[in-house]
Structure 1
Amino acid sequence: MHTSTTSTVPLDPWSAAQLAEATGGYWYSGQIPQGEIKRILTDSRHAEAGDAFLALKGERFDAHDFIRQVADHDCQIAIVSHPVDVEICQLVVKDTRLALGQLGAYRRGQHPQLKVIALTGSSGKTTTKEMLGSIFSQLAPTLVTRGNLNNDLGVPMMLLELRAEHQYAVMELGASHQGEIDYTSKLVQPHVAGILNIGTAHLGEFGGRDGICRAKAEIYRHIDATGTSIIPAQDDFSDEIRAAVQTEKVISFGVGGDVFATDVELQTQSARFQLNTPEATHPVNLPFAGQHNVHNAEAAAAFALAAGVGIAEIIRGLEQAQAAKGRLNFIQKGHHLLIDDTYNANPASMRAAAEVLAQQAGIKVMVMGDIGELGASAAQQHYLLGRDLVAQAVNFVVAVGEFAPAVLEGARSTQYGKKMQAFLTQEQALPFLIDLVDTHQPQSMSFLFKGSRYTHMETLMTDLMEKL
């Protein structure tokens, strides 16, 4: 397990002077808190004595409204963008969202010994991050991005968890708009950073893949001058990515790159391959299924090599890595297999998941929810998915959600249209899935569930498991 999520070591405390210095704020009415401040947090439900509550303001909420509530729970300090009429020490700053970033950057600056690895990409970020966490955590205490804390709020929140014991930090950086990765990579000050791929995730926000490439390529702007840029050797945007690199040192991964896999053997729940580096070739038994995860392992190896990790430690870390919850987790229920890949989805990862399902035993059923953040191209992207998924070696594809009709239409444009069933809701899909199991008794079945986070496809998976 990663030290970042399991350590009970208390966070390094803050002083009132440090909070003011980091944010450029001032203490309202001269009320300055005395003693140590144990942590800064943004969730009012967890604020208690010794904490500083930072009041964020969003489009539909204003946490300044909760300051009386945190004061009632003995939290005596608030960081605010305007004073409020509550008896509590208030550090007034220009913008609490920016103040969170300033505090994260301040904490990062307090750890000059820290070696930071930062990565972004349209798919594979979470799994590659977990692989890197496994590699670095065996060497020294390592901070690893938790869950999806990879945006302009999540990244500084993770930096606030830095402790003196940390020697490494593996930071996942996401982008939902131009400039976001420029902002977060400046906060984390990486020594090694790079892009995994340029796909079609978040197409809606960026208006096209070239826009996605520009947004992701911001990660190269703030790498330490003596650091290393990591690039995919074969990507539709490899030339544009290479042009964005500003460091002398570059390591590429994938076919034609510096670090690449050969002799790949894909198994039902794992993969074996030879890992080729500039120094030598080594066998790897990867506990992850699918060609896409072999590619993630190539990337993880490139990042780790750039950070000075030896090949033996890299292989050990890859072989001991564990998938994040909802990332191709294999669950055996009786003689049926359920694959939980519900953490999130984009078009590339949906296709990759279908390839993994195609290698399983028995009757193979792909259960897919909608993919979000595709903008105006959403219907077309779902149509193409329907066309491509039924062509895989699976027996049934069950689409659930608003775009299920578009998926169905795509499937019917092929000779495999009869494999596809479409439902607008999970409640409508569940009886069909139960009926499928009953119809195919006593054969074993393999189900794979996947969709964007907001579709909560794990709910449908759990409902089906209860009936098996």
Structure 2
Amino acid sequence: MHTSTTSTVALVPWSAQQLEQATQGRWYLDRIPSHPIKRILTDSRHAEAGDAFLALKGERFDARNFVPQVAKQGCQVAIVSEPIENLDICQLIVADTRLALGHLGAYRRREYPQLKVIALTGSSGKTTVKEMLGSILSRCAPTLVTRGNLNNDLGVPMMLLELNADHQYAVMELGASHAGEIDYTAQMVQPHVAGILNIGTAHLGEFGGRDGICRAKSEIYAHIQANGTAIVPAADDYTAQITGAVVSKQRLSFGEGGDVYASDIELLAQSSRFVLHTPVGHRQLELPFAGLHNVHNAEAATAFALAIGVGLEQIIDGLVAAKNAQGRLNFIYKRNTLFIDDTYNANPSSMRAAAQVLTQQAGFKVMVMGDIGELGDASEQEHHDLGRDISTLALDVVIAVGAYAIQTAAGAASNSAQNNIHAFATQADALKYLIQLIDQHQHQQMSFLFKGSRFTHMETLMTDLMEKF
């Protein structure tokens, strides 16, 4: 199991007794490490002297097979569910290594009761709101922020292992790929403030519908600490169901009709201007993020920050200084051509929002969209509807790439007489057409947007095209 462990924080070492206590495990043959354990890893490639290698087990892999290898690399401690005979390594035997990782994360979280924790979930916008909150809170005090996609039942405890006494805040992004996952991770992080951004169609296949998605994400509210605050979207079509799941007395809403909302919105090519209204006052600002959806993300970030005790001026400063994560509407110029890299991931809502951002750009506008995954039985219909909606926008060419490109093109054809959408099964075929487009419009300013689900690797197609310049 290769989970990113890249960290810039000072890790707190573990004693053998702490590991035993946290995991409810036992040391095999009473062989106990004599030195502190500097870090806990699930990636065998990086294990070395001073580490503890935690051997996860999945349907198609068993990292216990890598224990002999990490021993050769100098790693002296392994956390396993079954002992390995005749191996020169200290072995902590636990009932389930996946659950042991959760126990370790929860143990570390309990060690810092002074820590103020925000937990957030939603179908789209989680990464951007997380980055906005990181910008706001890190200006106040040291803050731990979920890195990359470490937001599941393995990633959340891996992030908690990075906590140290310097941290005053933590922003934890919680994802859900199955019912009960957020219940598990929210209990682990013990948030003071928690909330849902929206209920969309991401992971539609896993939950059988939006009702199931709403129930799964609403699990986050059950674990808000006493006197904590629940954050709810005021303008979501699932607002009533979300609000019904809240158990906290204190709550703060965001969006149209909410406690925190934006007015006088002006959408610019790469930013937006608006007046931000809150219960403690209002301010005008220019947000360095494009698109109406990012205005809504700023509303949400403001509500979370206010609930954790941050002042309005500090919030504004943090929003103005915030930066998008890699692969999230990053604007890249090469000669007179704009490439918008939004390849980090995609769902139907975020694909529509990105297309709107492209309409604000200059010149000949080309949208290159890969497949959206995890939609289950609704995949064909969702891609059809996406093509239908995007065909109404002021875009010059739309290029659909992947297994559902035909459905996307069919949706566009059902709604528009314009033949400006082209379907390709492979990136190689799409690249040939893109190169032709550039040749045809070489004396014209052009703007490209690339977006798709993570598994489509649309950044590869974008890079291949940029290399042709």
The two structures have a TM-score, normalised by structure 1, of 0.98
Q: After superposition, give the CA deviation of every residue in 1:429-461 in whole Å (9 maximum; x if it has no partner).
A: 001001111111200100000000000000000
Structure-to-structure mapping, 1:429-468, within 5 angstroms: 429-468=430-469
Query: Which structure 1 residue ranges, 4+ long, deviate > 3 Å from structure 2?
Result: 5-9
Please say if residues 390 and 396 of structure 1, whose CA atoms lie closer than 8 Å, have aligned partners that are also in contact.
no
RMSD: 1.0
Structure-to-structure mapping, 1:219-230, within 5 angstroms: 219-230=220-231
Matched with 2:324 is 323
Structure 1 residue 42, shift from structure 2 partner: 0.3
Matched with 1:335 is 336
Q: Does 1:159 align with 2:160?
A: yes
The amino acid across from 1:466 in the alignment is E
C-alpha change, 1:7 and 1:386, in structure 2 (3 Å) is closer
Counterpart CA distance in 1 for 2:390 and 2:461 is 20
Q: After superposition, give the CA deviation of every residue in 1:361-390 in whole Å (9 maximum; x if it has no partner).
A: 000000000000000000000000010111
Counterpart CA distance in 1 for 2:380 and 2:6 is 42
The amino acid across from 1:316 in the alignment is D
Count of aligned positions: 464
Counterpart CA distance in 1 for 2:242 and 2:113 is 28
Counterpart CA distance in 1 for 2:152 and 2:10 is 25
Q: Flag structure 1 segments of 5+ consecutive residues without an equivalent.
A: none
Counterpart CA distance in 2 for 1:168 and 1:10 is 15
Structure-to-structure mapping, 1:378-389, within 5 angstroms: 378-389=379-390
Please say if residues 130 and 321 of structure 1, whose CA atoms lie closer than 8 Å, have aligned partners that are also in contact.
yes
- Bigger CA drift: 138-147 or 410-419? 410-419
**Alignment partner of 2:384: what SS?**
helix
Matched with 1:197 is 198
**Alignment partner of 1:418: what SS?**
coil
Counterpart CA distance in 2 for 1:6 and 1:444 is 39
Counterpart CA distance in 1 for 2:251 and 2:134 is 21
**Alignment partner of 1:386: what SS?**
helix
Structure 1 residue 277, shift from structure 2 partner: 0.4
Structure 1 residue 416, shift from structure 2 partner: 4.2
Please say if residues 450 and 457 of structure 1, whose CA atoms lie closer than 8 Å, have aligned partners that are also in contact.
yes
Matched with 2:410 is 409
Matched with 1:178 is 179
Matched with 1:400 is 401
**Alignment partner of 1:199: what SS?**
coil
Structure 1 residue 292, shift from structure 2 partner: 0.1
**Alignment partner of 1:246: what SS?**
coil
Matched with 1:70 is 70
Please say if residues 260 and 277 of structure 2, whose CA atoms lie closer than 8 Å, have aligned partners that are also in contact.
yes
The amino acid across from 1:99 in the alignment is A
Q: Does 1:128 align with 2:145?
A: no
**Alignment partner of 1:273: what SS?**
strand
**Alignment partner of 1:415: what SS?**
coil
Matched-pair identity in %: 70
**Alignment partner of 1:150: what SS?**
coil
Matched with 2:149 is 148
The amino acid across from 1:29 in the alignment is L
**Alignment partner of 1:322: what SS?**
coil
Counterpart CA distance in 2 for 1:382 and 1:19 is 48
Matched with 2:210 is 209
C-alpha change, 1:405 and 1:227, in structure 2 (3 Å) is same
Please say if residues 391 and 416 of structure 1, whose CA atoms lie closer than 8 Å, have aligned partners that are also in contact.
no
Counterpart CA distance in 1 for 2:285 and 2:116 is 26
Q: Does 1:17 align with 2:17?
A: yes
Please say if residues 9 and 162 of structure 2, whose CA atoms lie closer than 8 Å, have aligned partners that are also in contact.
no
Counterpart CA distance in 1 for 2:284 and 2:344 is 30
Q: After superposition, give the CA deviation of every residue in 1:106-149 in whole Å (9 maximum; x if it has no partner).
A: 00000111000000000000000000000000111100000000
Q: Flag structure 2 segments of 5+ consecutive residues without an equivalent.
A: none
Counterpart CA distance in 1 for 2:417 and 2:83 is 63
Please say if residues 255 and 261 of structure 1, whose CA atoms lie closer than 8 Å, have aligned partners that are also in contact.
yes
**Alignment partner of 2:263: what SS?**
strand
Structure 1 residue 10, shift from structure 2 partner: 2.7
Matched with 1:34 is 34
